[in-house]
Amino acid sequence: MADFNKFELRAPAAQNLIDIFSGKWASDLSSVYPGLKAGAIDLFVSDPRPLLAAQYLGANERLQDMEVLELGPLEGGHTYRLEQLGAFVTAVEANREAYLKCLLVKELLNLRNSSFLLGDFSLFLEETDKNFDLIFASGVLYHMPDPLRLVELIAKRTGKCFVWSHYFDPDHYPWPKRTARRVKHRLGNFTYYELEHRDMNDCKFWGGNKPVASWLSKDEMLSAFRLFGFEKIEVIEEQRDHPNGACMSFAARRI
């Protein structure tokens, strides 16, 4: 007897692709593909982060012909916008389901200057010998078990980095208690505020691929980028009352 879950019985349509992961999308694609029903968050058009990267680290508010490495593209929303801003994008995603969604988005939106790689972006940074004009790290640093290691790897492969991240502020933190752990690093002492994930198999878990996530304070996060050679850092936006904890975006560059 045939397994009808394997087959699409409707006529070909874009919604059919979205429905492969029905109920599991974060992104609202209707702004770039009218009529599509996916998730609720517009990461494709109204999200300001790719444009901020272009304004602070590009030229004439563009990323024209820049080689951009995107860490953790999720469903390709920022990838789409980075390409629209003129970039050639390499996006590395560890979540297999998110990676497949990125491929669907690439087909739906006809992305031609973006490629998606399935794997751990920290290991990619360790193994690649390629340098990038810009690394776009939005929504990833606070998912790392060892964020200092990621900053170090980023610094080895670019002179420009855009970051959006939560940071630990005990007065603006709504989640379960984190464990503070002092970390001795060759560049100084830092504090990691650690939390173990207990829901990594949830269909809407879009965090990192390791069970522990370590947050840094705002000052120590910025200090880490400076210590690894990003002499010029500009905090672009900051939201201390974000419902998921204080956050900020910043542009970091070597001079």
Q: Which fold is adopted by the domain 16-253?
A: Rossmann fold (3.40.50)
Report domain extents, the chain. Answer: 16-253
In angstroms, the Cα distances linking 126 to 62, 111, 141 are 28, 27, 16
In angstroms, the Cα distances linking 185 to 104, 145, 146, 210 are 41, 15, 11, 21
Walk along the chain (255 residues) and give the pLDDT tens digit of each residue: 455 578 999 999 999 999 999 999 999 999 999 999 999 999 999 999 999 999 999 999 999 999 999 999 999 999 999 999 999 999 999 999 999 999 999 999 999 999 999 999 999 999 999 999 999 999 999 999 999 999 999 999 999 999 999 999 999 999 889 999 999 998 899 999 999 977 756 656 667 677 899 999 999 999 999 999 999 999 999 999 999 999 999 999 998
